[in-house]
Chain A
Amino acid sequence: MKYQVDDNGYYGAYGGAFIPEMLYPNVERLRKEYRNIIEDDGFRKEFQELLKEYVGRPTPLYFAKRLSEKYNTKIYLKREDLCHTGAHKINNTIGQILLAKRLGKKRIIAETGAGQHGVATATVCALMGIDCFVYMGEVDMERQAPNVARMKMLGAEVIPASSGSKTLKDATNEAIRDWINNPEDTHYIIGSVVGPHPYPDMVTQFQKVISEEMQQQLKEKEGIEDPNYIIACVGGGSNAAGAFYQYLENEAVTLVAVEAAGKGIDSGESAATSVLGSPGVIHGSKTLLMQTEDGQITEPYSISAGLDYPGVGPLHAHLRDSNRAKFLSATDAEAMEAGLQLCKLEGIIPAIETSHALAALDQMSFQHEDIIVINLSGRGDKDLDTYIHYFNL
């Protein structure tokens, strides 16, 4: 099992728990208990029931006929955009809220960039009647105002992160600081496969339902479980981790991770960590991150707030180093055009994060009989403002 987390919380050279002593008791308790809790029959039953009845799973594996014709191959879309709240993020928050209840926690904190994870967290907190505090960079609060309103409607308190660059990395810092100040009653729901061990694996375990369903649905539709390619966008990497998980050890399936190149890899305004990053420590985990020569974490850029993160999860750093996954990147312009193309060809408005995965189609070549699955991680309603301005609609 080359791509599973090891007993020390590492994926190859990456992972671990680089946390201050103040967080040790909480993270250690999670490390000791998370596997037992999430593998417990009662937990699994409750988790699966909520995924079915509340989230709306399984999500369809939709054969995109016109898109397939355009690329002269067979393209399926895994419709995570049809999940309640509009993205795959809720798979993880459902899992973590059930876990938090079993840990006896009374207060939930979360970080959010685009607001999708914040909304998904606020949603499950409303569902369970637990207090919810979401940290969000001041800059992101402005560019994702509708999601701020959604969180407030759901009863969450949105706390502006005004330190540093006032975006996702700073919101994450603030959430970690909150946890240091409230270690007893609070659970921190991290939204991606990042952070100290066991978070990367825990979040992956809650997202792996994506590839479990994919296997079953491909079997029904194609008579085989394995596609030739799975394509997913990567910011921190939670939707990609979920879409890749069941196929990690199956090297016949090519895994394609698409990062945000922003205005271009060499433009100085990019979020393509696998190209621009180097090994270091960010948010409690050893992984690839964008940093200066002096080890200061730098500010990434992408038109998509959800990919605007200076690191990737340690699993993805390992997938890159081992060449298990192919890493591509799409610029703002390529992603926006690919998003618009999906609207026109299939009647689906994707999230701009997801549009990056779609843009990879133009960078690859396929055989006519290939089967490609693109993880359609989120819907584009939250991005209308950006689409409107970009295309002068």
Chain B
Amino acid sequence: MNRIQQLFQQDKKLVSVYFTAGYPKLDDTIPILEALQESGVDLVEIGLPYSDPLADGPTIQASATQALKNGMTTELLFQQLELIREKIHIPLILMGYFNPILQFGVEKFCKRCEAIGIDGIILPDLPLEVYLNDFKELFEQYDLFNILLITPSTSTERIRMIDQHTKGFLYMVSSASTTGKQAAFGSSQREYFTRIDAMKLKHPKLVGFGIYDKNSFQAATEFANGAIVGSAYIKFLTENPIGETSSFVSKLR
């Protein structure tokens, strides 16, 4: 069983945290992972920095730009993660954009993920149709879970289809926005969360985009299995040492 499947057998609201590999410093990847695990985070998304991250707001963009300036590459990240499973046992997901993976070689990428013990991948700009036609078999061959996104404007029919093909969980984008917009969850989000909940989908759901504190975490997880925090943690890392991560995480759940 994939670590992600195991995780969702637990009956608690899960905290997933995103960080950009290579930020703030090139060699921070391992210390950040250790700090997150020690702080009780259930799942980590390691961001592969990209020059043109279309779905991201200013905070994650700036962290990616800095990470690339620091010298982060796909190959270097794999090297940093080579022995990670000696220390880290929580599920690890890589999140990035499609082009760097295409250039790395999709099969070679899957192989490296499997060798290291990466459990899943989130590629916002790899559309469902292309994934199904060209990459599904390959990802499955290497036991790499491709986690798919739904949004408030995804049609019911398409949500069913995405639920059919996602692996591990569904990534519920909280609102029509790029990452890092902090607005209180209002009635339209509540309507969306309850609407999706009523669909009784096959897969568990994690809510992402716009979660940054206890209130937003609670609102997001009332009808979901957990929530994903990204920009807020990047901001925290900009202002605080990695060693203080537990003070950030403990304020969420």
Interface residues of A (CB under 8 A from B): 16-22, 24-25, 163-164, 169-170, 173, 176-177, 180-184, 278, 280-284, 291, 293-298
> Roughly how many angstroms separate A283 CA and B51 CA in the complex, as a whole number?
12
Q: Could you jot down 6 A-B contacts, CB within 8 Å?
A: A18-B126, A24-B151, A164-B65, A169-B52, A177-B54, A280-B103
CB of B153 within 8 A of CB of A25, answer yes
How does the 8 Å CB contact mask read for B35-55 relative to A, with 1 for contact and 0 for none?
A: 000000000000000111111
- 4 closest A-B pairs by beta carbon, nearest first, are A295-B103, A295-B100, A296-B51, A20-B124
CA distance A288 to B65 in the complex (A): 23
Residue with the highest number of chain A CB atoms closer than 10 Å, among B97, B98, B99, B126:
B99
* Chain B: number of interface residues, binned into ranges: 35 or more
Judging by beta carbons under 8 Å apart, are B176 and A294 in contact?
no
Given contacts A176-B54, A295-B74, contact A22 B153 (CB under 8 A): yes
Judge whether A24 and B154 touch: CB under 8 Å.
yes
Q: Which residues of A contact B54 (CB under 8 A)?
A: 20, 173, 176-177, 180, 283-284
Give the contacting residue for B125; candidates A19, A163, A296; CB below 8 A.
A19
Whole-angstrom distance between the Cβ of A222 and the nearest chain B Cβ: 46
Residues of A within 8 A of B62 (CB): 163
Closest A residue to B55 by CB, please name it. Answer: A20
Contact between B177 and A294 (Cβ–Cβ < 8 Å)?
no
Q: Is B184 engaged at the interface, CB distance under 8 Å to the other chain?
A: no
B100 touches A182 (CB 8 A): no
Q: Are B103 and A24 in contact (CB under 8 A)?
A: no
Neighbour of A17 across the interface among B57, B75, B127, B173, CB < 8 A: B127
Give Cα A180 to B65, complex, Å: 21
B75 CB contacts on chain A under 8 angstroms: 294
Choose from A20, A184, A282 the contact partner of B99 (Cβ within 8 Å): A282
Q: How far is the CA of A53 from the CA of B42 in the complex (A)?
A: 64
Q: Tell which of B102, B155, B181 touches A25, judged by Cβ atoms closer than 8 Å.
A: B155
Q: Are A183 and B153 in contact (CB under 8 A)?
A: yes
Decide: A22 and B103 in contact? CB cutoff 8 A.
no
Distance (Å) between the CB of B47 and the closest chain A CB? 14
Bound form: Cα–Cα A25–B149 in Å:
13
Q: Which residue of B lies closest to A289 (CB)?
A: B99
CB contacts (< 8 Å) of B236 on chain A: these are none
Shortest CB–CB separation between residue B100 and chain A, in angstroms? 3
**A297–B127 contact, CB under 8 A?**
no
Contact of B176 among A18, A22, A283 (CB under 8 A): A22
Q: Closest A-chain residue to B61, C-beta based? A: A163
User: Roughly how many angstroms separate A182 CA and B74 CA in the complex, as a whole number?
Assistant: 32
Instruction: Please determine whether A180 and B176 come into contact, CB atoms closer than 8 angstroms.
Output: yes
Instruction: Evaluate contact between A282 and B52: CB separation under 8 angstroms.
Output: yes
Q: Is there an interface contact between B154 and A295, defined as CB atoms closer than 8 Å?
A: no
B127/A180 in contact, CB under 8 A: no
Q: Which of B75, B151, B155 has the most CB of A within 10 A?
A: B151
Given A21-B148, A21-B173, A24-B154 in contact, is the A293-B103 Cβ separation under 8 Å? Answer: yes
Kindly state whether residue B73 has any CB partner on chain A within 8 Å: yes
| Known interface pairs A293-B103, A295-B103, A298-B51; 8 further A-B residue pairs with C-beta atoms within 8 A, sorted by A's residue number | A21-B128, A21-B149, A183-B176, A184-B176, A281-B97, A295-B101, A295-B104, A296-B100
